[in-house]
Structure 1
Amino acid sequence: MQGHIHQSTVEQLTLMLPFLLLIGVYIFAGVFSNQRHKAWPLHRYFFWIFGVFSAAGAVVGPIADRAHMDFTAHMTGHLLLGMLAPLLIAISAPITLILRTLSVKWSRRLTRVLKSRFFQVVSDPAVAALLNVGGLWLLYTTDLFSAMHDSLVLHVSVHLHVFLAGYLFTVSMIYMDPTPHHRSFQYRGVVLILALGGHAILSKYLYSHPPAGVPSGQAEVGAMIMYYGGDVIDIVLITIFCFQWYKAARPRTKSMCQPQLN
């Protein structure tokens, strides 16, 4: 692996601006929507901020700088961008915040988009799992991994896919936001088990079959980061999933059936 892309201080500050803007917009939306609705929960801000910073850590700063020549740093960035950031951002319920911030007219338009055939397909757990885990198999078992370090466009595209696929997979498993296309817990549970298995098998495969140009020592450490670090994040995801299943299976009283905005 070669470090073709080195970030200067000015470049790092420039790259951080979109992430800081996302944090600012979320906080503004929360404060603004509080004027018409009950206060947006403080823990949502916390999850959003740390989620955005987790994603930023994969593309800006020392981890991102070393990732071009150190597979262990790259895999750390993968966990931040493709697993931790999507989970934290999903818990922050951004779609709910957007819907309660927009006017009724624009909220209805956004709802129609979310109900579209496209989102019905990509939000299906099996499709989301294929995009997420299948994309990782494609990245690490083909020449794509080497090529992304020689092309800025490809580099950005791969990172964008890793985050979006991770987010789609997360929100297809746990429902924190309004979800027009509900899937049963049984179906989601089966897909979740298969996806986690595919991720674990890939990490073991990389331990003994590193991508082209990656030293075996780095591949072994990186594979362990992917395996054990992924397990930690997966435990949180599984816990939330099981808790939601437990809540849905409980007998409901009339008050419990009232719709909750957040």
Structure 2
Amino acid sequence: LGLVLGAPGTLALRTVRRDVGRAALRVLRHPILQVAAHPVTGLLFTAGGLYLLHLTPLYRATLAHPGLHGLVLVHFLASGYLFTWAIAGPDPGPHRPGVPLRLVVLGLSVAAHATLAQLMYAGLVDTAAPVTQLRAAATLMYYGGDLAEILLALALLVTWRPVARRARAEPAPSPA
């Protein structure tokens, strides 16, 4: 959240030549990036990655292969950044959906993380950790995830800039 709210994209655009900045903004408006930068896409990458890691043999494979472990860490950093930016990031990018949809996606994220934490607590994940460690991790994921998502919702509301609606032209009253 701190990395996203630091607005590194805005900082980069302010330090490059104007033509480079315009080219970067044109790339950010590409339709493929609109799909990639959608909050639902970010949710699928973050929550889907967590489910894939914990409900398949992927976690055990990361213990045996340090390179794979590094790739999983890079995935979570990138997907977490993408999700956080799609919800509340101040940097420029493709058109974002409105705040109501972003709050719904954030709510789905809360439910996805809480469900996975409960599955972990019940021991229904593929890991070699002792039950006490698994339950401690599940508890941390459950409550720590809620705290992180509350902070993200707060960031969304603090950075939200409502678009002023044009005043509707009301017909002038007819002279009586």
State the TM-score bracket (shorter-chain normalisation).
0.7 to 0.9
- Alignment partner of 2:63: what SS? coil
Aligned to 1:211: 126
The one-letter code matched in structure 2 to 1:129 is L
Contact 1:208 1:216 in 2 (8 A): no
Aligned to 1:148: 62
Contact 1:95 1:178 in 2 (8 A): yes
Query: Unaligned 5+ residue runs, structure 2?
Result: 167-176
Aligned to 1:180: 94
Aligned to 2:49: 135
Deviation at 1:251, TM superposition (A): 8.0
CA 1:181–1:250 in 2, change beyond 3 Å: closer, same or farther?
closer
- Whole-Å separation in 2 of the counterparts to 1:191 and 1:180: 17
- Alignment partner of 1:248: what SS? coil
- Whole-Å separation in 2 of the counterparts to 1:174 and 1:212: 33
CA 1:240–1:250 in 2, change beyond 3 Å: closer, same or farther?
farther
- Whole-Å separation in 2 of the counterparts to 1:149 and 1:113: 38
> Where do 1:33-182 residues align within 5 Å?
87-182=1-96
Aligned residues: 165
CA 1:250–1:225 in 2, change beyond 3 Å: closer, same or farther?
farther
- Whole-Å separation in 1 of the counterparts to 2:89 and 2:73: 24
1:179-225 CA-partner distances (Å, limit 9, x unpaired): 33221111111111111110111011101124321111100000111
Aligned to 2:148: 233
Deviation at 1:119, TM superposition (A): 1.6
The one-letter code matched in structure 2 to 1:216 is V
Contact 1:91 1:176 in 2 (8 A): yes
The one-letter code matched in structure 1 to 2:147 is V
Deviation at 1:244, TM superposition (A): 3.6
Contact 1:90 1:167 in 2 (8 A): yes
- Whole-Å separation in 2 of the counterparts to 1:118 and 1:164: 17
- Whole-Å separation in 1 of the counterparts to 2:82 and 2:89: 11
Q: TM-score, normalised by structure 2?
A: 0.87
Deviation at 1:231, TM superposition (A): 1.6
> Where do 1:1-20 residues align within 5 Å?
none
Extract structure 1 runs of 4+ deviating beyond 4 A: 249-252
In terms of mean alpha carbon deviation, does 182-191 or 90-99 score higher? Answer: 182-191
Identical pairs, percent: 36
Q: Does 1:196 align with 2:88?
A: no
Contact 1:203 1:223 in 2 (8 A): yes
Deviation at 1:249, TM superposition (A): 6.6
Aligned to 1:31: none
Aligned to 2:169: none
Higher relative contact order (CA 8 A, sep 6+): 2
Specify the structure having the higher radius of gyration (Cα): 2
Deviation at 1:250, TM superposition (A): 7.4
